[in-house]
Amino acid sequence: MRQYRDLHLPRLIEGRLVRRYKRFLADVELREGGVVIAHCPNPGSMKSMKEPGSEVWLSASDNPKRKLAYTWELVRSMGDLTLVHAGRANAIAEEALVNGCIEELRGFSSLRSEVPYGDRSRIDFCLDFATGPCFVEGKNVTMFDGEGRAAFPDSVTSRGTKHLRELMTMVGEGQRAVLLFCCSRANVTAIRPADEIDPVYGETLREAVAAGVEVLAYGCDVSIEDVVMRRAMPVMLAP
């Protein structure tokens, strides 16, 4: 698989995490001095990623209309840089798709993002193949399980379960549907459902695979400058 630049990060500012709180806020002590409040663009529990004292990197905005000038982008977790900014995962996935780096999804003629479908829902991507459309829902995976694997989700996700059921509905209607796990940490070799956190999601994921939903997982290498998707990884479904 060829390597490519997937996401070029803005210039980042180094600091140390003081605390993460109210889900979307973090206090960070900057290396250059002072403590700032940063936006934390990650709605999950961030288990294994929010230890006080952890090295973190922030981006800064000069937009006067923003309430918070700083955004938490990266953390050093278990010795490896990990992407905190969940909103960047779709940009990573889209660039990987466009560059043909996801082997199972090569050969489409066009890509559309945030495509409406079902009852008030949107799917991340719709790829147009000669054989018909392929619907792709992406998930950002960051939680380390301590045994060399990443696990998803890191908190109960009724929304994620709803997405799985919608993918199953697509398959039942004769469409191709794919769940794509984007693992934005380097120290893992496989991805598994986090049954200990959300057993309903794990059960629904296995049900979706049995119904014909394709489940793919790709890992990223993360540096201060780039996030690069390099490798396919297995998804371990056994509970």
Classify domain 8-83 by CATH number: 2.40.50.580
Q: Which CATH architecture has domain 86-232?
A: 3-Layer(aba) Sandwich (3.40)
> What residues does each domain of the chain span?
8-83, 86-232
Q: What is the share, in percent, of the chain residues with pLDDT greater than 70?
A: 95
As a whole number, mean pLDDT of residues 188-212 equals 97
pLDDT at 5: 43
- Decide if pLDDT at 134 tops 70: yes
Residue 197 has pLDDT above 90, yes or no: yes
What does the DSSP 8-state code read for residue 109? S
Task: Report the pLDDT value the prediction gives residue 8, as an integer from 0 to 100.
Answer: 60
pLDDT tens digits, one per residue of 148-177: 899 999 999 999 999 999 999 999 999 999
The angle, 0 to 180 degrees and rounded to 10, between the axes of the packed helices 199-211 and 158-172 is 10
C-alpha angle 235/237/239, rounded to 5°?
A: 140
pLDDT for the residue numbered 195: 97
pLDDT in tens, 81-113: 899 998 888 888 999 999 898 999 999 999 999
User: Is residue 203 classed as helix, strand or coil in its secondary structure?
Assistant: helix
Per DSSP, 5 falls in state -
Say yes or no to pLDDT of 206 above 70: yes
pLDDT average, residue stretch 179-196? 92
Contact (CB, 8 A) for 165 and 209: no
**Mean pLDDT score of the chain, rounded to an integer?**
91
Q: Rounded CA gap, 163 and 160, in Å?
A: 5
Q: Name the strand (E) or helix (H) holding 36.
A: strand 35-39
Q: CA–CA separation, 90 vs 135, rounded Å?
A: 14
More confident residue, 145 or 208: 208
pLDDT at 223 over 80: yes
With cut-offs at 50, 70 and 90, classify the pLDDT of residue 3.
very low
d(CA 182, CA 137): 10
Give the residue with greater pLDDT, 222 vs 215. 215
- The overall pTM is greater than 0.85: yes
